[in-house]
């Protein structure tokens, strides 16, 4: 496959055909060009810092006149400032937006509710490219005659996320496609964007004291570089399609290689409802979705040894018609060694049995914590492990809507992190598994689902 252009016939096209599109949708008024140069992106960060500082001064002056003496944190952690952060990150897209997504999802319980809610919009609420920038991007990827290949192509995206936006199209030979198109300049801006947004958030005070973002930001850089390679994602899309072929519960779109290249991913269009929209669905449906998600995590870890590690809500759909979970994104796939998966299996067995001595041995093998830390810290960590095992030891349905385990794990983790004698960061494989498992737990909690976890675990432990 040509790395510059996907397969494109050298045929002329008419202006009338170039302008053919489906009717505009809700994204239409929000098209904004993606800043592609390093200086233009840096200027956006400077603008954001200035806007937040200006908001602090104005709000502080107003409260002072009203006779109040707000703290700096009170002035920083306001919905207005959070909205400014969200707005600029959504405009920048790329790594800047991904950090906001990671914060809203992975650290949602650590952030003030207002800030978490506003940053949470970044999971599925990005600006999209205007038509001129979109056309220029596709001209570079497919050649200027690319529209001759389609019966119709919607210039308004059906989704816009951190590194790309998705469009529907129908080919001349009748294929209904969802086409993910990467924003220009995103790949080259990943490292600098992550560093800039990290520095900005630390200096602004928008994050609680003691929250160590280093592992998360390192993970964001690595994940974004992998996600930015759409040919790599296409290979994993095909591999998961084989692994889950014939599944009555999970549906994987088909890859269309003739339209796929490094910056464009084409797959069959599959309809469904976003999981965000199912929080008020009937209990039985929410229970089924959470059960399918947890079962899939177990299969990924213990059967496939291949996991899609990003639990973002936007990566899933649910088809009420077929009662199947639809998997849409495979940019953050990671393979695991048999040794790693065997260790996790041993950890589960020890945890369910309440065998702390065995659990400690396996935890040391996984490097969940260093062996030389004081015994009191080791006991604190294992107490959190015991807490995390409670849903797995539960007989019958575990009610995710009636538990405070996530908050207690958060509080205990912050207390441990505040001690300087616990400095070692677990291996990346462990961090990826923790992130996926933790994200699915939060997702099940959001759905207030009830799941028989012990039943799902029986065939493994």
How far, in Å, CA of 331 to CA of 215, rounded? 19
DSSP-assigned letter for residue 145 = T
Q: SS3 for 362?
A: helix
310 is a catalytic site residue: yes
For residue 85, count CB atoms less than 10 angstroms from its CB and return exposed for 0-12, middle for 13-18, buried for 19 or more: buried
How far, in Å, CA of 100 to CA of 83, rounded? 12
How far, in Å, CA of 159 to CA of 165, rounded? 6
> In 10 A of CB 304, how many CB atoms?
18
How far, in Å, CA of 33 to CA of 418, rounded? 42
CA distances from 182 to 179, 190, 237, 260, 375 (A): 10, 13, 17, 11, 49
Question: 390, 402 in Cβ contact below 8 A?
Answer: no
How far, in Å, CA of 440 to CA of 114, rounded? 22
Q: What are phi and psi of 149, to 5 degrees?
A: -85, -5
How far, in Å, CA of 261 to CA of 285, rounded? 37
CA distances from 454 to 336, 348, 389, 395 (A): 24, 11, 11, 7
Print burial letters for 249-278: b (CB count within 10 Å at least 16), e (below 16): ebbbbebbeebbbbbbbbbebbebbebeeb
How far, in Å, CA of 141 to CA of 306, rounded? 30
CB contact set of 438 (below 8 Å; sequence gap of 6+): 106, 311, 406
- Percent of the chain that is helix, strand, coil (3-state, to 5): 55, 10, 30
Residue from 106, 193, 310, 429 carrying the catalytic annotation:
310
Nearest CA among 102, 314, 63, 372 for reference residue 216: 102
How far, in Å, CA of 90 to CA of 373, rounded? 41
CA distances from 335 to 4, 231, 338, 341, 432 (A): 29, 17, 10, 10, 10
- Which residues are the active-site residues? 310
């Amino acid at each position: 496959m040509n790395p510059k252009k996907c397969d494109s016939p050298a045929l002329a096209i008419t202006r009338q055909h170039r302008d053919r599109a489906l009717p505009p949708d809700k994204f239409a008024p929000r098209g904004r060009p993606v800043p592609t140069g390093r200086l233009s992106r840096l200027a956006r960060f400077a603008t954001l810092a200035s806007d937040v500082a200006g908001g602090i001064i104005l709000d502080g002056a107003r409260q002072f006149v009203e006779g109040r003496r707000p703290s700096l944190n009170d002035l920083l952690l306001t919905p207005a400032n959070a909205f400014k952060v969200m707005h600029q990150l959504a405009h920048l897209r790329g790594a800047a937006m991904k950090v906001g997504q990671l914060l809203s999802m992975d650290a949602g319980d650590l952030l003030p509710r207002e800030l978490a809610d506003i940053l949470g919009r970044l999971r599925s609420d990005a600006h999209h490219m205007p038509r001129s920038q979109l056309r220029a991007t596709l001209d570079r990827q497919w050649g200027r005659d690319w529209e001759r290949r389609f019966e119709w192509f919607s210039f308004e995206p059906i989704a816009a996320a951190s590194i790309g936006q998705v469009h529907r199209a129908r080919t001349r030979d009748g294929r209904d496609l969802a086409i993910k198109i990467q924003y220009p300049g995103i790949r080259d801006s990943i490292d600098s964007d992550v560093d800039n947004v990290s520095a900005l958030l630390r200096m602004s005070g928008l994050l609680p004291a003691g929250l160590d973002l280093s592992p998360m930001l390192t993970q964001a850089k690595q994940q974004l570089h992998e996600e930015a390679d759409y040919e790599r994602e296409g290979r994993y899309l095909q591999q998961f399609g084989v692994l889950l072929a014939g599944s009555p519960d999970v549906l994987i779109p088909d890859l269309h290689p003739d339209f796929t290249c490094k910056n464009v991913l084409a797959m069959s269009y599959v309809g469904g409802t976003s999981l965000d929209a199912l929080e008020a669905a009937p209990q039985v449906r929410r229970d089924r979705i959470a059960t399918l998600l947890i079962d899939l995590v177990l299969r990924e870890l213990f059967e496939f040894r291949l996991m899609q590690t990003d639990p973002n809500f936007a990566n899933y759909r649910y088809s009420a018609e077929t009662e199947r979970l639809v998997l849409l994104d495979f940019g953050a796939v990671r393979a695991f060694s048999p040794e790693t998966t065997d260790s996790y299996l041993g950890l589960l067995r020890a945890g369910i049995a309440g065998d702390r001595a065995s659990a400690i041995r396996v935890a040391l093998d996984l490097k969940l914590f260093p062996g030389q830390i004081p015994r009191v810290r080791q006991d604190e960590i294992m107490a959190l492990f015991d807490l995390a095992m409670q849903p797995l030891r539960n007989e019958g349905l575990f009610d995710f809507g009636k538990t405070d385990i996530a908050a207690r794990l958060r509080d205990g983790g912050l207390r441990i992190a505040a001690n300087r004698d616990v400095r070692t960061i677990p291996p990346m494989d462990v961090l990826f598994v923790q992130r996926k498992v933790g994200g699915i737990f939060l997702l099940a909690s959001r759905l207030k689902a009830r799941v028989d976890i012990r039943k799902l675990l029986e065939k493994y432990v």
